Structure formats: structure tokens, C-alpha cells
Structure 1
Amino acid sequence: MIALSVNLNKIALIRNSRDTTNPNIPQHAQMCIDAGANGITVHPRPDQRHIRVTDCFDLASMLHVEFNIEGNPMTGPRKTERSDVEDYPGFMALVKEIRPTQCTLVPDGDGQLTSDHGFDLKQDGEQVARLVQELQSLGIRTSLFMDPDPQQIRLAAQTGTDRVELYTETYARAFRTGDDLEHVFQQFVRAAEVAVDEGLGLNAGHDLDLNNLPRFATIAGLREVSIGHHLTVDAIRIGLADAVAAYQRALGTG
């Protein structure tokens, strides 16, 4: 079975557009779980523009499914100018205190609207390997956000990580436009094969939706997808519970 982890970032973004606690993040996490979600994902960025530090602790205190926290492990502490928003302690400090089921390391920067590339482990492999070991020593399963590049996937295995998460933007774009779709899809098939051959668990995410997910879900070895933006958009149209159920059906598990 392929697990569906619902990313709550966009729910938090709606809340942050007003001075309010509505929508309530733990309540919406529970709604997703009640509708069949297998896990919850958050990506707390240093500017806390959507998920905030307090959200991470609130979720950790109530979740009984997999909790996946993703982010850039190189980001340190940040002060906030708002009295009602807690300072950002740094990504690794946050994860070490919460100890989620899984930590997905992502090389995103402050200026990025969203994550848009995987790690270059030719450059950062030694540092990433140390971070992986640090997280695993706390009992946290690790995953690295990676492009579908077989050479980079092999380098990911050398870091000792438990899993990789394939960055699926190129597949989603090719599916949407029809440009070179078969070639792009086979890149992900090959990357998945290499990951499995290297003994890595395989996750995926970014711009997966109800249209492109069924085909992607046929890739052998896929264990988990993390979906937020499109699921939230679909929830506006059909309701959150029905959206979660629809994504489970798209995975072939609903």
C-alpha cells in the first residue's frame, strides 16, 4: 500500500492571512486522518509564513499516525517581529525536540516560493551524511529530497539515509503539457529502480494531483506520497474528507 501523507502548509497559510486561529491546524489534521490519511506532513520555514513552530508542537502532541517534518537542515534560529509568533529555533533544533516519525531534508532557500530542486550530494554529501546520522541516532527515520537522477540517488544511499523523496515537478509539468511525457516518466521509473536496488525506501511529492497521481502510483517500490497544495484546492471544491478519499482512490488504496 502507498501511504498518503497530507501536507497542511496551505491550511496554515489560510489561517495566517487573518489574525485568527481558524482554520485550526490540529483539527484539520484529525479531519484528514478520520478521512483515511496515513500521515501528516508539515514544512516549517524560518519565516513561518504558513506552518509555525507552535503548530509543530501542537501536532506532535495529538498525532497517532506518521508525522513527517520537512525542511532545510542548514537553517538556524530566527527572531520574529510578531509578539504572537514564537521565534524559529532552527530546523534541526526543532526536529530534535519533537522527534517526528520521519524527517525529510530539503535544500530550499529563503527566496524560494516552494521547494524546486533536490540535493546535490556531490557537493553536500558529507554534511548531509552527518545530519542523517544525527537524526537516526534519535530514532527519526530520514528521507532526502532528490531529483530523479540515478547518480544522485546512489550518492544518497551512501549518506545512510533511510529513504529518498523524488521531486515530481518535472513529471507533473510533462503530464500537464504532454511534452515528452513518456521520457520524463521513465526517468522516474529508473530513479525508483535505482533507489530500490540501493535498499532505499521511496517517497515522492510536489504537484501531484488527482489527474497525474494514478499513473505515478504504478511506479514499483513507491511507499509514500506527500500532497498538500492540490489536495487543499480540491478540498475547497469538494470538501476535505472527500478530497482525502479521492486521493486514496487515485493511489489505488481507497
Structure 2
Amino acid sequence: MAFEKGEKVAIIGQNGAGKTTLSKLLNGLLRPDQGSITLFGDDICDKSTSVISKHVGYSFQNPDDQIFHDTVKKEIAFGPENLRFDTQHAKQAIDNAIRLSGLTELLDTPPYNLPFSQRKFVTLASVIAMEPEIIILDEPTAGQDKAGIQQLEKMIHTLSDTTIIVVTHDMEFVARNFDRILVMANGQILSDSGAKETFYNKPLMEKANIEQPYLMSVVEEFLFQQDITTVEAFRHRLKNGRIQQ
């Protein structure tokens, strides 16, 4: 498989399907027993994780596995400073990450004084500040309320030139935001396609033991034309009277 610049890709499947293993192979946290992984044409299997992380950022499911500084700002600034960005470049990268993550008012706060949902944004901002070409997010919506998910979605779409790969069990989030979906089961990729092709494929959903997003189940229940993946598209279709039965 290959990932292109700016692609937004979701990897879905039940626990044990191989999602996290695949994502950790992509950034060097795990090494393949066979085969190769290339980044911009170079095999990365013999490169150190520190070298790979300059290009492939990873935000863990549990933010506490990444946080180690005593203020939010220091945590976000660590990456650019460690990568030896020049002063102006570092400031721009840090400020951009702070703005995207909505942490402007919390910069002097110890990260562990923040709730879980905001600690996740601290680690997201830390990854964004390093300006990697690829960002991998492991279960980014876990512990987030509606406002947090909306902030996350805005962040993903703002990073239009960055390849973003998300590992998640949140099918509603996937259907709204991702044009390419990898479905995994038992360490294998069962499907690599779009939201419509994935979520309206009942045999695939059953084989991967994945629950269809609620909106799609409503569309199927009422025998609507099966090309709707977002609430906005559903409303537009209803408003314009173009529902086909």
C-alpha cells in the first residue's frame, strides 16, 4: 500500500485486528519481520526511530505515555527545539500548533492538571509543532466530548498538506472525515476504499465485526439511495427532494 501527500486515511477494525501494529510499523516503533517500508523512496527499516519521527509523528492513545514536561508550552516546544529549528521557525511552528489545538489559555498549566481530553490535545499539538509530513493518531476521539471532536476535525482539515492516518473505533468520526478507509481483521487488510464502499458493504462489515455508522443504518432502513455518508449530505438530499427508494 502507499500513502500520498495530504491524504486522510482511517484504519478500522476490532481489537486485535492489527491496526496499532500497522501504525507503529509506519513510524519505526516496530520493525517488520519481512518486506520493506519506504518513506520518500528510502527504506526506513534500518533507520532509527528518532530519524523517522522527524517525518512521521505519532500521537499515542494514552497521552500520559508521551507527556513529560511541567507546562503545556514546554511540552509543545520540546519537539521544535530538539529538532533545532531556528528561533523564528520554532516560534511559528509552536504558535501554529497552539492555535490549532485550542490551548492558548493553558500554556503555563502543568499538563497533568488538565483533564484527559485536553491532555490528548497537548500531545497532538506537540506532534504538529514538529511539522512532520505524516501524522498518525491512535484513537484521537477517545475521551472527547462533542466540542473536542469538532476541534479535532477542524484541526485535521486545516492540515491539508499533511498526510494524516487515524486508528479508531469511532465509525461516525470516520464516515464524516475520511475519504480512504482501511478495514483490518486478523492482521490482514480486507478492504481499502471510500466511506460509501466500506460502510454500505454488509458482508465486509460482518467479516470485520464492525458496526455500521448510525446514519448509514438509517439510510439503509428507509431504502434511500446508498451514497450518503454525512448528516449534511442527508439534509441536503431531503431538502431537495432527491431521495430515491
Structure whose CA Rg is larger:
2
Greater relative contact order structure (CA < 8 Å, 6+ sep): 2
The TM-score, its normalising length taken from structure 1, stands at 0.32
- TM-score norm. by structure 2 comes to 0.33
